[in-house]
Structure 1
Amino acid sequence: MPLAIRRCLCVCFLAVLYHPGLAVAADPGFTQFVASLWPEAKEQGVSRATFETETRELEPDYKLPDLLLPGRPATGAPAQAEFVQVPSDYVKEASIARLAEHGQKLIQQYRPALAEIERRFGVPGPIVLAIWGRETDFGRYALPYDALRVLATQAYVGRRKDQYRIEFIMALKMLSDGVVSRRDLRASWGGAVGLTQFLPSEYYKHGVDLDGDGKVDLWRSVPDALASAAQQLANKGWQSGVRWAYEVKPPANVDCTMGVPEVKKPIREWLRAGFVPVRGQRLSAAEQQQAASLLQPEGIYGPAFLTTANYFVIKEYNFSDLYVLFVGHLADRMTSPAAFATPWSASKQLRSKDVEAMQGGLTRLGLYGDKLDGKAGMQTRAALGAFQKKAGLKVDCWPSESVLQAIDAAH
């Protein structure tokens, strides 16, 4: 056979083998694992017909992040914007302004539904609109993954197998119950679905039929999606009439190591200590009685906030300080044009692996006891500040290469 023909056949064979639309060889381990879940699915009310139909040709997606694959390097958690971008890039003014402008129109469009949501759940309309805006750009962002495939893969080889095992079964229940079609069950890489990004189990815990059509539709009914988000916040402890946070100017001698949830005191005590609400804002006596924690997302640089209990309720929706800042600030901007009073300062964020190395070093020094997750959250920043105090360095509670080197040298 001529060389040119052999090359052509080889190329054609490879094209067929790797064409994404064609079937690939089954993964016996994965197939066996999925089949083993039938008793649990049956217990949750999944029909046998649904189970067999939806799992018959199901294949794992080993390109997903956050997997632990035998014989391969861990894929690692994804580089989520909440944890690798500096605040000014994540809470970008152009994005906030664009979403706020659209949100103002949606406040008018969904005014009756938002009024009912606030009456029933105590959650302001702009808060749930901001969640919708952040999660799916008010429904304009097309979720890229098949939810069932994502959840099954994460249940099989993910870092949080037990959690995803439940979510996979609950997704099957959604299909069995006729909640949503398989075609519409699209998800993020983490398996969240719908306009306001619910995991399947959250649908059953918090779903609300606000439009009164007899079903909870998180995909096409904006009132249902927003009410369900409000119900989730309420179920997690949302306090009616309490702001999410207050931007403040801290005193010059502020101790940034206090910026952890455990350091909580009435706002009036923070004010007595020299923290001043921005733009001359005057807080009522009731507001001053509220317990609050200090948040300095960039350490001593950039804006500072006194965060209420509702701040941490939003954080349970997405465990990221920048996510909460985005949602809270976007909600504020729907009713007020004021941007953050203090500008963001940081221009560089350490890579996740460097933050994880920093956390490991702080752990060995006995200054950090939380997860080694590569995310420079409140606890990491406070532990970093404690190291800086101990080492006689400038205490700014901001992860930098120079401080990482100092921590490495301290062992």
Structure 2
Amino acid sequence: MAATAANILRRSQLAILILLTFAVGAAFSPVHAADEGFSRFIASVWPDAQQAGVSRATFDSVTAGLEPDHRLPDLILPGRPATGAPSQAEFVQVPADYLKEGSIARLAAEGQRLMRKHESTLKAIEKRFGVPATIILAIWGRETDYGRYALPYDAMRVLATQAYVGRRKDQYRNEFIEGLLLLQRGAVSRRNFRASWGGAVGLTQFLPSELAKHGVDFDGDGRVDIWSSVPDALASAAQQLVNKGWQPGLHWAYEVRAPAHADCTEGVPEVRKPIGEWLRAGFAPVRGQKLSAAEREQSASLLQPEGIHGPSFLTTKNYFVIKEYNFSDLYVLFVGHLADRMTSPLPFATPWSSSTQLRSRDVEAMQRHLTRLGLYKDKIDGKAGMLTRAALGAYQKSAGLKVDCWPSDGVLRAMNAAR
């Protein structure tokens, strides 16, 4: 019995030793190593921050206790699987889900109320910048639900993490330094410096470097405050659009009905024609809308967000200016249509289809196949944008398939069979 008790004691001691070994090992896991690497990374930023004008006191105050947030999307973490592309609604939802009538109607009604509340400010902004009040209100509504949406992340932690292990390290290194400068100037308190996962801040969602370029002190209090000053936030959004090429008096897009013989592969920015030429080819403004001679002379490109399914649009230069704010066709359609709805109750004339969205990795597989065939020359990103849809249409033509310029399971199966 004594020998048995001794054996049990030895086994217990061995088990405790094993547990302690695992505990010590965990303390020196890749996460701990990554934290040490993060500290070295932060230290490496100091010379560039100093050269940009950041004081040592500001740098030390902001970075004290700062840790990376490994839960963010779009990271490449040592020793771990990549966190994958971000699940932004603009890139994973079909139009029917993203452009829900209920959401647009609610935001349009609130936009009308805010238009009355901020009437004098909006008129002054429109007079100075030439951007309609409805457009900048729509941006505010889409970005933060007119300030109701509470941004979930600490901005400096996001910027530092993306600079350390994100996919665009150089860009975010600069954004981190710009964030330090914002805090140093007192533009925002650290407590209120909240951001999206991508580091965009304020009521109208600016990256710090964009705020440095386009920020406007419209309320005249001596500082650019896009966190609590509606005039500053809206004027800054207008200034950004102007700086990126906004043309006053030019409507963003016209919904049209496409003729049966329309070629969806023409739906790329490079194919631009006067609107009058599109109309002569059989495209017709919806609801019998009559366009002026000046509007018919405007250059436009074709946009079919669901290929031949759903609504079609003739998009002007201002469409692509809004797209500089957020590089997504669905985003621009939401903002443009929301702006229109603030002055007209009419929804899209053509309903969105019941199309389904392929998984990002399936769209990536399509893009790789299209690249090998020489039909696609843009990023492999799993997003079915204009260039991807046009390339799919070209593939469908060459393969003898129905040409609809939409990434479906049927097209994916045809590609897999061809390989």
Q: TM-score range by the shorter chain?
A: over 0.9
Question: What is the aligned partner in structure 1 of residue 109 from structure 2?
Answer: 101
Provide the C-alpha distance between the structure 2 equivalents of 1:305 and 1:265, rounded to a whole number of angstroms: 13
Per the alignment, residue 84 of structure 1 pairs with 92
* Deviation larger for 321-330 or 66-75: 66-75
For residues 418 and 177 of structure 2, what CA distance do their matches in structure 1 show? 48
Normalised by the length of structure 1, the TM-score is 0.94
Note if 1:119 corresponds to 2:127.
yes
Q: How far does the alpha carbon of each residue in 1:170-193 deviate from its partner, in whole angstroms, 9 at most, with x for none?
A: 000101111111101100000000
Q: Is the aligned partner of 1:274 residue 2:282?
A: yes
Contact 2:125–2:238 (Cα < 8 Å) also in 1: yes
Partner of 2:6: none
Match of 2:270 in 1: 262
Residue among 367, 381, 387 paired with 1:359? 367
Letter in 1 for 2:41: F
Alignment of 1:258-337 (within 5 A): 258-337=266-345
Match among 248, 251, 254 for residue 243 of structure 1: 251
**Whole-angstrom CA distance in 2 between matches of 1:115 and 1:40:** 41
Instruction: Give the letter aligned to residue 116 of structure 1.
Output: A
Determine whether 1:338 maps to 2:349.
no
SS of the aligned residue for 1:293 comes to strand
The residue matched to 1:79 in structure 2 has which SS? coil
Write the mapping of 1:135-284 to structure 2, written as runs, cut at 5 A: 135-284=143-292
Contact 1:297 1:304 in 2 (8 A): yes
Partner Cα distance (2:78, 2:390) in 1? 36
Deviations 1:304-332 (A, max 9, x none): 00000000000010000000000000000
Between the aligned partners of 2:328 and 2:50, the Cα distance in structure 1 is 36
The runs of at least 4 consecutive aligned structure 1 residues that moved more than 3 Å come to none
Which SS does the other structure have where 2:306 is aligned? strand
Write the letter of the residue equivalent to 2:304: Q
Q: Could you tell me how far apart the structure 1 residues matched to 2:33 and 2:231 are?
A: 43
Structure 2 residue ranges without an equivalent (≥5)? 1-8, 13-18
Contact kept? 1:302, 1:343, Cα under 8 Å: yes
Q: CA RMSD in A?
A: 1.9
Which residue identity lines up with residue 85 of structure 1 in the other structure? Q
Q: Which amino acid aligns with 1:315?
A: K
Query: Is the Cα contact below 8 Å between 2:34 and 2:78 reproduced in 1?
Result: no
Distance 1:384 1:366 in 2: 12
Q: For residues 126 and 38 of structure 2, what CA distance do their matches in structure 1 show? A: 45
How far 1:145 moved relative to its partner? 0.3
Secondary structure of the equivalent of 2:254?
Answer: strand
CA contact (8 A) 1:362 1:407 kept: no
Q: What is the rounded CA distance, in whole Å, between the counterparts of 1:235 and 1:76 in structure 2? A: 33
1:410 equivalenced with 2:413 (yes/no): no
SS in 2 for 1:225: helix
* Structure of larger gyration radius: 2
Aligned residues with identical type, % of pairs = 75
Match of 1:7 in 2: none
How many angstroms apart in 1 are the aligned matches of 2:196 and 2:97? 21
CA contact 2:76–2:166 (8 Å) conserved in 1: yes
1:10-25 superposed matches below 5 A: none
Check if 1:34 corresponds to 2:42: yes
Aligned to 1:6: none
Residues 301 and 346 in structure 1, CA contact (< 8 A), matched pair in contact too: no
Please state how far the C-alpha of 1:401 moved relative to its aligned partner.
0.7
Pairing partner for 1:62 from 57, 66, 70? 70
Q: In the superposition, relative to structure 1, how do residues 26 and 309 fare at CA in structure 2: closer, same or farther (>3 Å)?
A: closer
DSSP 3-state at the match of 2:85: coil
Unaligned runs of 5+ in 1: 4-9, 19-23
Alpha-carbon distance in structure 2 between the residues aligned to 1:387 and 1:198: 38
Give yes or no for contact 1:132–1:196 (8 Å, CA) kept in 2: yes
Counting matched residue pairs gives 396
Matching residue of 1:50: 58
**What TM-score, normalized by structure 2, do the two folds share?**
0.92
Residue pair 2:273, 2:301 contacting (<8 A) in 1 also: yes
* Counterpart secondary structure, 2:323: helix
